[in-house]
Amino acid sequence: MNIFKQIPTIKCGFRGAARKYCRAFFSLYHSSPDTAVEVHTQTHEVVIALGSNVGDRLHNFNEALQLMKNSGIHITRHACLYETEPAYVTDQPLFLNSAIRGVTKLGPRELLGVLKKIEKDLGRTDGIRYGPRPIDLDILFYGKFKIHSEILTVPHERIWERPFVMAPLMDLIGSCIDGDTVARWHDLSVPSGGLFESWEKLGGESIIGKDELKRVLPVRNRLWDWSTRTSVMGILNLTPDSFSDGGKFLSLDAAVSQVRLMLSEGADIIDLGAQSTRPMASMVSAEEEMDRLIPVLEAVLKLPEVEGKLVSVDTFCSVVASEAVSKGAHIINDVSAGQLDSEMHRVVAGLQVPYVAMHMRGDPSTMQNSENLKYDNVCKEVGSELYMRVRDAELSGIPAWRIIIDPGIGFSKSTTHNVDILLDLSAIRAEIGRKSLGLSHAPLLIGPSRKRFLGDICARPAAVDRDPATVASVTAGVLGGANIVRVHNIRDNIDAVKLCDAMLKRRRSFA
């Protein structure tokens, strides 16, 4: 092959042309003969692995992501976050591992130089190989190319033997090959039989949750392995017009007393909402929402009982989200997944807290109109639409490892649709997984509590009479794959959750 034919024509002064020519020639010369890389003229998709086990590991990740963005790497997808046992050199702290997909115009050697500089800027020094490090950044794939030189090998030569690399890598692709580049990544792994086959040889999903490889979500000051048991989120409506308990907890004393009761009964998360989202609800201003919310939030966070628990704020307003987190809220729960406030995703990305993205069409005043209730296949369409919402969140900087998904039971759904969702939560995950396996692995929250569809089925017009039906729907949801249940009645539902978890644990022991 004549490598000179691969060098782009560059219209510039002699010195500039010479410099660019030499850089292009150098990259080409050190690439495999059949994979010459045209630098400075094309955008290439890359996969970069991240690892850290020194200092504040999550802070190291956040800093590395920002420095990559500042250096010409546009991040398009994030893998889940994994806490892993160290490999090769085992006498060292646990690692955090993940990976990102992105696009860049940087040539392979330039990209390597950028990543090495980021490692140095974040405190990495030359130490023992495979030893402790504040940050480790490796190029797993660069476009469709195979590169081998004295300083760079792509694909990374030890991908196939490392579960802590393969798990995040698999997260970044979908269950369906979505383009030539991903197809090429499968081809480049031919010695191992392809990406899916390589992952299965390592054990695939069966090894997730073991001591050496845990999928975690960072929240508050800890890493949350949500797969070990189902979490119960208690609802506290600070509104005069919510469908179930509107007006009951308007005073500070009543609200705090209810939180104490829910915590005593075993709630893991308290979800505070000061904006009604019942069908046909009118929206209140951000100022009025905060006037209802902030005093209660501050009082709740001071409770001794809240130690070790999480406090979520149910809002679709970015101003409220920002103020709530500044006061100490741990999670933002957005029923619109960013559709009702164009600033929400950007703001939450900066807040660096977990984000619940729920599926809804329209807004509370329009969600139940005939147009928004049209589905051919509700689970498939909810999964597809929810993926698009979460994809927007990711592109705004909310990594997959901070996202919780919610199919939106009762929101722009008929009774039949809600039943179908409870019957087949796995189909929603599968539809998301067609595009992104990482996002399909996110914690899944359901909120069927006292919803109207339960009243329709059980002939219970009063919301407070729907607790037995709520227990049944929570049971179906947990056995179907829900990780978090959002309910009004903690006492009864927590018993249902404990039984379901015991059944699931027993089922796994048979596998």
List, by residue number, the catalytic residues.
451, 486
Name the residue type at position 133: R
Beta-sheet strands, E only, within 203-327: 213-219, 222-224, 231-237, 269-273, 310-314
The answer to whether the beta carbons of residues 199 and 170 sit under 8 Å apart is: yes
338: left (phi over 0), alpha (psi -120 to 50) or beta: left
Given strand 445-446, what is the order of strands in its sheet? Answer: 403-406, 355-358, 331-334, 310-314, 269-273, 231-237, 484-487, 445-446
Element (H, E) at 78: strand 73-78
CA dihedral 186, 191, 196, 202 (to 10 degrees): -150
Distance CA 486, CA 164 (A): 32
State the pairing for strand pair 81-84/136-142.
unpaired
Pair of tokens at residue 200 = 């299965």
Of 241, 213, 215, the C-alpha closest to 227 is 215
